[in-house]
Structures are given as C-alpha cells and as structure tokens.
Structure 1
Amino acid sequence: MRHTQIKAFHHVALLGGFSRAAEALCLTQPAVSEQVRKLEQDHDTLLFHRDRRQVRLTEAGEALFRLTRPYFEAEEQISEHLSQSGAAVAGELRVIADAAHHVTGLLREVRAKYPQITISLRGGNTEAILEDLRAYKAEIGVVGDIAPGPDFESISLGGAEIVAFARSDMLPPGITSRPLSDLLQLPLVMRESGSKTRLKVEEEAARQGLRLTPAIVAEGREAVRELVATGAGLGFVSQAELGADDRVTVVSIEGASLHMDETLVCLSQRRDLRLIRTVMDLAKRR
C-alpha cells in the first residue's frame, strides 16, 4: 500500500468521481484510476461500484473512507502547523443549520474577516445535522438543544419560546394563548421525525397525557409555514424562527414550559482543523 494510492482513493470518495479527484490532485484521470485499481488489486478488495455515470463506495470502501478522512485532515493540520503562522485562513466552510437566521450574523462576520473562506449553507433537522457532521459532510452545524457529550463541541447561540401558530381566521379573534389540550383539537401540521421542535411538543403532550396526531407531516420549517399560512392546520415553531408573517397568528401555550435553545456545534475530533477552529473561536468572542 502506497500513500499515493490511499490519497487517490480518498479524493475519489470525497469528491464523488475520478475526474474531479484528478483535477484536485493535478493528475490525469487514467493516473488516478490506476492508483485505485492497484490498491484494490494489491488487497483483493473492491472499493468502488463503477456505474456508467457515477462511482459508489462499496461496504469495504465506506469502511476505508471512515479511516482516510481523519488521516488526511491530520495531514492538513500538520501542513498548517509547519506553514507560516500569518498565512490566510481559506477553504470551504460547509454549514448545515436547522434555521439559517441563527447563524447569518456569524457567517457575515466570517466573510468580512476571512474573505478567502467560501461558505455553503443548507438546512436540515437536528438528527440529520449531527449525522452529517459525523460523516464529515459539514464542518459546522446549528441545532436545537443538543445534549452535551464528548463527540461534539458546542457554543450556545441563545434561545426562544416554542409557540403555536395558525392562519388568522382559524382561531377566535384576540386569542393570544391557549392550553395545549385545546390546540391539539385542531388539525396539526408537524415537522418530520428528527425535528427537535416536534420532539419537545410530543414530550409535553405525553407529560400531560394528551394524544398528538399530525394531520400533515412536512419536511422542513418553510414547508410547515406555508401549509399553516394556507389554513391547512396549526403548527409549532420557536418564536425566534417564525419572524414577521401577517398571514398567521401566534399563540402562546398555556401551562407548558417549551423553550428551544440553539447551539453551534462541531465534531470534537475535528476541532483543531484550522477552518473550524477559526469559526468556533470567532463565535465564542461574539
């Protein structure tokens, strides 16, 4: 086994193709293909399924990729340590958040201070965010109420009350609060399983001995908002995430202490990667 073979395999797996790996490594595609072929041949194992339009990791390839990811990140950290301390912070920062507005101010500050960092931002629920961080598919996550643990480092971003909301004509005029038992009589538009907001409402309903049966389950907060705004039912959301929307009425939940804290997280074993360290340290100073 040679370092060049492992490096070729890693970049094909990371970038999803031989052409992209060759471009990243400044090699030809046949050269990268040969390195991977030799690695497979020398160890009598198939690492990729080679379809006409794409390559996919085999089970053995997935297991090897889990080992090469920290290996090459360690190599990058060594390179950073040996390089000049004044070198600019650069690279792609992949952020996945349960609600983008919790992190937009921080990302704006990152870009202002470190213009050579490029940022990609996408959404997901808490369960998906933690899975993607563990799989090295993102560097930074924003989640609701993560339990502290050794595998993640976290920084609190504050929190807000969880409220109910519905189209204005679904509730009597002037209503600003209602017990959960009353609210559950309406058709419910709920987030998908894995949503921390949904989990908290389900736990409170169970605590009160109430039955919670969604009429509609929607993927993502924006989908829930639009369905509620059209009169499809009542939804639940952190008040900080709802924002101004004249189409809906917000209702506090009487007799329940429902609160959502938002947290910036990264994988602990990647904490010393320069790009991640820079962003986490910046968040701590805000």
Structure 2
Amino acid sequence: MRYAQLRAFHHVAVAGGFSRAAEALHLTQPAVSDQVRQLEESYDILLFDRSRKQVRLTEAGEDLLRITLRMFEAENEAAEFLTEARSLRTGHLRIMADAPHHLLHILAAFRDRYPGIRISLSTGNSDQVVAALRAYEADVGVMGGMPEVSGLTGAVLDASPIVAFVARSSPLAARSDLALRDLSSLPLVLREEGSKTRAKLLAAAEAEGFSLSPAIEAEGREAVREIVAAGGGVGFVSMAEFGADARLRPIPLRPEAGLMMEEAVVCLDQRRDVRLIRAFMELAGVG
C-alpha cells in the first residue's frame, strides 16, 4: 500500500468523483483512476461501485474512508503545526448552525482575535449538523441542545422558551397565551423531521396523552416564517430566535408545557484538539 494510492482513494471518496479528485490533486484523471485500481487489486477489494454514472462507495470503501478521514486530518494538523497556521494567522473554519444568531457574539470575538481566519457559515437542522460534523463537512456545529449521541463534545450556550407565532391578521393574535392542548385543534406549520423544536413539541404533547401533526411541513425556519406570515397557520420557535418581524406576533405557551430550547456548540471529540476548533470552542466557553 502506497501513500499516493490512499490519498487518491480519499480524494475520490470525499469529492464524489475521479475528475474532481484529479483537480484537487493536480493530477490527470487516468492517473488517479490507476492509483485507486492498484489499491483495489493489491488487496483484492472493491472500494467504489462504478456500475452507475455516479461513483459510489462500497461498504468496504465507507469503512476505509472513516480511517482516511482521521489519517488526513492528522496530516493537516501536522502541517498546521509546522506552518504559520499554528499561530492561527491563516485557516478556514466551517460552521453549521441551526440558528446563526446564537453565534454572533462569539463570531465577533473570534474575528477580533484571529482576523486572518476565513469563516464559512451554513445552516441546517440538528440532525444535519451532526451529520455534517461526522462527515468532516463542518468543524463546529450549533444545534438545539446537546445531542444524545456519542462522539461529540460541547456546551450549552443559552436557553429560551419555545413560543408559538401567528400572522398579525390572525384571530389568534389576540391571545395572551396558548395551552399545549389548544394546539391539537389548530393548523400547525412545523419544520422538517430532524428539527429539535418540532421534536420537543411533539414529545410534550405525547407525554400529555395526545398527538400533534402538521397541517403544513416546511424545510427551514425561514420557510415556516413565510408560510405563517401569509396566514398558513401557527409556527413555533424559541423566543431567542423569533427576531423582529412586524408581520408576526409571538404567543407564549403556558408555563406548564415546560418547553425550553437550549442551544449548544459542539464538535467531534476526536477533533477537539485541532487548533482552529479548539480556539473557537474556548471562546465559546468549552474548555
């Protein structure tokens, strides 16, 4: 087994194709294909399913990718240590958050301290954040509470109650509050499965002996907001995330519902000592 063969396999797996891997490695596509083929032949193993137009990892390929992700992460750490990136003068931090506003004070402090670091921010629900971290597509995640899964470390940033919200023109806008059971007779606009807000709401109803189901299911917080603003029903969000929107009115859920939404900042356990990630987590209060 040669380093070049493993590197070729890793880049094809991560990039999702031989052409893109060749571009990343500054090699020709035949050269990359040949290195992967030699690796497969040397160990009599099939790493990619080439029967379709799109290159797909076999089960063995997925197992090997989990190993090479750690291998090349360690290589990157070594490179950072041996270059100016070790002092965090350069680099790229990828963050995925379910609600970016929870990060604003941390981002400002991080930019002040490390102005040379490029930051990219994407959004997704809690399940998507966990998946992105595990796939090494994000370095840091912000999500609704600490996940009940192994392999992640982090800390809670803040907590606020979940509230309902409706269009200002809705008859419900005059309500001072809503009981959890009131929701069973209302048209609910809920986010996609994987949303912590949705999961908490449905679990609370189930604990009270009844069920809730969406009249409309929408992907993403902004989609829910627009549907509700147009009179499509009742949406839900943590009060900290409600923001300012003259079209909408928040309605508290009665205290007995006990619906609180925590926001946590997390990273993979095995990557917590990567310098860039550690610097961000320390600013977020994660030791």
Instruction: Give TM-score scaled by structure 1 length.
Output: 0.89
In the alignment of these two chains, the number of paired residues is 286
Label 1:282 to 1:35 Cα distance change in 2 as closer, same or farther (>3 A).
same
Which structure 2 segments of 5+ residues have no match?
none
Secondary structure at the residue paired with 2:178? strand
Paired letter, 2:240: A
Instruction: Report the aligned-residue RMSD.
Output: 2.5
Match of 1:269 in 2: 270
CA gap 1:35/1:207 in 2 versus in 1, 3 angstroms: same
* CA shift for structure 1 position 172: 4.8
Which segment drifts farther, 220-229 or 202-211? 202-211
Residue in structure 1 matched with residue 204 of structure 2 by the alignment: 204
* Aligned equivalent of 1:133: 133
1:163 lines up with 2:179 in the alignment: no
Give, in whole Å, the separation in 2 of the partners of 1:137 and 1:227. Answer: 30
The C-alpha deviation readout for 1:172-210, integer Å capped at 9, x for no partner, is 564221212223321111111111111111122122223
CA contact (8 A) 1:176 1:250 kept: no
SS for the counterpart of 1:155 is strand
SS in 1 for 2:95: strand
> Which region of structure 1 is more displaced relative to structure 2, 44-53 or 245-254?
44-53
Task: Name the CA distance, whole Å, in 1 between partners of 2:267 and 2:147.
Answer: 13
Aligned partners of 1:5 and 1:36 also within 8 Å: yes
Specify the code of the residue in structure 2 equivalent to 1:283.
A
Q: Once structures 1 and 2 are overlaid, which stretch shifts more, 99-108 or 23-32?
A: 23-32
Tell me, in whole angstroms, the C-alpha distance in 2 between the residues paired with 1:267 and 1:261.
19
Q: For residues 89 and 143 of structure 2, what CA distance do their matches in structure 1 show?
A: 25
Map 1:17-32 → 2, pairs under 5 A: 17-32=17-32
In the superposition, the TM-score normalised over structure 2's length comes to 0.89
Question: What is the distance in 1 between the residues matched to 2:218 and 2:202?
Answer: 16
- Give how far 1:55 is off: 3.0
Q: Is the 8 A contact 2:125 2:143 kept in 1?
A: yes
Deviation at residue 61 of structure 1 after TM alignment? 1.6
SS of 1:178 mapped into structure 2:
coil
Cα distance in 1 for residues equivalent to 2:174 and 2:65 = 58
Aligned AA (1:98)? D
What letter matches 1:163 in structure 2? Answer: V
Offset at residue 19 of structure 1 (A)? 3.7
Distance 1:160 1:249 in 2: 17
Residue deviations 1:44-84 (CA, integer Å, cap 9, x gap) = 22322447965332322222111110111122223434556
The equivalences for 1:14-53 within 5 A come to 14-50=14-50
Determine the structure 1 residue equivalent to 2:13. 13
Structure 1 residues 1-286: aligned runs within 5 Å: 1-50=1-50, 54-83=54-83, 87-147=87-147, 151-172=151-172, 174-254=174-254, 255-284=256-285
Partner of 2:187, secondary structure, is: coil
Q: Give, in whole Å, the separation in 1 of the partners of 2:75 and 2:243.
A: 44
The one-letter code sitting in structure 1 at the alignment partner of 2:40 is E
- 2:242, 2:257 → 1: CA distance? 19
Structure 1 unaligned regions, length at least 5 = none
Q: Which consecutive segments of 4 or more residues in structure 1 shift more than 6 A?
A: none
Contact 1:202 / 1:212 at 8 angstroms: preserved in 2?
yes
**Compared CA separation, residues 85 and 143, structure 1 to 2 (3 A):** closer
- Matching residue's letter, 1:106: I
- The share of aligned pairs that are identical, in percent, is 52
Distance 1:115 1:51 in 2: 47
The answer on whether the counterparts of 2:140 and 2:277 sit within 8 Å (CA) in structure 1 is: yes
Amino acid at match of 2:178: R
2:88–2:116: 8 Å Cα contact kept in structure 1?
yes
